[in-house]
Structure 1
Amino acid sequence: MSSTFAVFMGLLGLAVGSFLNVAVSRVPAGRSVLRPRSACPGCATPIAARDNIPVVSWLLLGRRCRACRIPIPARYPIVEALTGLLFAAEALRFGWSETLPAALVFTAGLLALAACDAELFLLPLRLVYPTLGLTAACLLTAAGATGQWHRLGVTAACAVGAFALFFALHWVRPAWLGFGDVRLAGLLGTGLGWLGPWHLVFAVVAGSFAGLLVGLALMAAGRMTRQTRLPFGVILAGGAIAALLVGAPVVRWYDSLSDPYANTIGTSLTTGGHRP
């Protein structure tokens, strides 16, 4: 059942990824994501349904427009495939739970924002705020369905705390962080606070460490210098998605290091033993 559900969510993710590509192409330019229908940017020929199948159409067309043969950017199949894979992975991670809708909305929004930041060094408000609002609405629904209102309080605290911290960093050294990254931090606090504050910490640390490694590798290869600008939104989004998928075991491992009895609590509860 879980594998069937994951496949279904993966197919849904492919379709969502196709919509995300539309958003990435149009939102930074201030255009509607609903109208007009998708068309080739080179020759303005409307894209037929047979040429709009996620990933598959790009491959069958030889990566070029059917009408004018201009290249279709690789970003299109990459976003579609990533969305499908992440939706499937999160279906396996969370199952059919109250948390899953928020995780999917959060992930989709992060992918669109990361794509915009990678291409334009821009985190559009018209993507940040709808993602924030929809994620918060899903979490509010989850809290109402489960009665876990305290988790909603933690979520709000994480959102405010992350925004305040990044705002302070931006105020001290604007060259370090753009204000778009400050807004993104608030979104990260909302999406990860429901799982716990340490998931947010993991996202920032893991994302920053990965960005450092990538930067060092690019400098070693001569493809960037210390003055080269990196899209920090991509780094934060990657760390947040990693926190969603693998944050829980990492947090449990950290707890076991700080609390030598953490690994025995479950055994004690089931056997009737008592912790000293």
Structure 2
Amino acid sequence: MTAAAPWLVALFVAGGLGLLIGSFLNVVVHRVPAGVSIARPASACPSCSSPIRRRDNVPVVSWLALRGRCRDCSAAISARYPIVELATGVFFLVVAARLWPLTDVPTEVLPLVSRLLSLLAFLWLAGASVALAVIDVEHHRLPDAIVLPSYAVGGVLLAASSALVGDWAALLRAGVGLAAMFLFYLALGLGWKGGMALGDIKLAGVLGLYLGWLGWAELAVGSFAAFLLGGLFSVVLLATRRVQRSGGIPFGPWMLAGAWVGVFAGGIVATGYLTLLGLA
């Protein structure tokens, strides 16, 4: 079997899994802020309460086949549903390509399992990122029900991944990253009126864990990018008078966006910056 075969399989599986997870995330986004169980009752049309048939639960395809309307009452179904599904599928595929590049496909058992565990950890973060971003935009909340389990899932999977190949340096960086980002956001929350909310502080620790595990460059770039992106967006909104200075602009989506900039381009950005300064 060539190296490209498992790589292509991994990308295909990750993209398909992302579509399915995206469908589930629509349930999470709708129910978690309302404090409703994500397991029961079964999904139903919010207009006529008719149960959603299995054939109408196929990600993206069902929405297109129904032309964005309920099969029973013809009520409009938000385009957010297929957008979340498709975006999650693409997101998962891109994350898999980043964590499992074709030029570095493990062939031995332990490194292969290690890579799979780290990939699962980052796919969890990708799914959580989609749900948290949508919820924070709509409700200005970062629910504990999503953030707190991410500590356990990320910690266990990344620790197991490192242990299998003896990469203890990655675990040390993960711990430092978690503590550094959590304490930095905590200091901002305590020292600046109207600064970081408690949800942002909790999320910061999760992002620090993941970014630190990847590397110092990813941690530094991912941390800084959140403030750069969030600041630029806020300036644009203020300049166009879309929001007042006292208006609330959720920072969670920019924390997540910045973290993923660190994941995908942290090494490149850090190297370019150091080269510009003549330090690399």
- Alignment partner of 1:38 is 2:35: no
Asked if residue 130 in structure 1 is aligned to residue 144 in structure 2, the reply is no
Deviation, 1:250, is 1.6
Residue number in structure 1 paired with 2:61: 56
Q: 1:191 aligns with which of 199, 210, 221?
A: 210
Distance 1:8 1:256 in 2: 38
Paired position in structure 2 for 1:266? none
CA distance in 2, matches of 1:11, 1:205: 32
1:210 equivalent to 2:229? Answer: yes
Q: Note the C-alpha offset of 1:257.
A: 4.2
Aligned 1:1-276 pairs, distance under 5 A: 1=4, 2-95=7-100, 97-98=115-116, 99-257=118-276, 262=280
Shift of 1:181: 0.4
Partner SS, residue 234 of structure 1: helix
Partner of 2:109: none
Which ranges of structure 2 fall in alignment gaps of 5 or more residues? 106-114
TM-fit CA distance, 1:169: 0.5
CA distance in 1 between counterparts of 2:79 and 2:256 reads 20
Separation in 2 of the partners of 1:56 and 1:243? 33
CA deviations over 1:161-214 (Å, ceiling 9, x no partner): 111110110001241211110001011111111012332221232222222222
Give me the TM-score of the superposition, normalised by structure 1: 0.87
Find the residue that maps to 1:68 and give its secondary structure: coil
**Number of aligned residues:** 261
3-state DSSP of counterpart to 1:81 = helix
Which stretches in structure 1 are left out of the alignment for 5+ residues? Answer: 263-276
Q: What is the RMSD of the two structures over their aligned residues, measured on CA atoms?
A: 1.9
Identity %: 39
Paired with 1:208 and 1:112, the residues of 2 have a C-alpha distance of 21
> CA-to-partner distance for each residue in 1:51-85, whole Å, 9 max, x for gaps?
11112222222222222233222322222122111
Checking the alignment, whether the CA contact within 8 Å between 2:218 and 2:265 is kept in structure 1 is: no
Cα distance, 1:4 vs structure 2: 4.5
Query: Normalising by structure 2, what TM-score?
Result: 0.86
Alignment deviations for residues 220-248 of structure 1 (CA, whole Å, 9 cap, x no partner): 43322222211100111111122222222
Q: Does the 8 A contact of 2:174 with 2:208 survive in 1? A: yes
Query: What amino acid is aligned across from residue 136 of structure 1 in structure 2?
Result: G
- The structural deviation recorded for 1:138 is 0.8
Give the superposition deviation at 1:155: 0.4
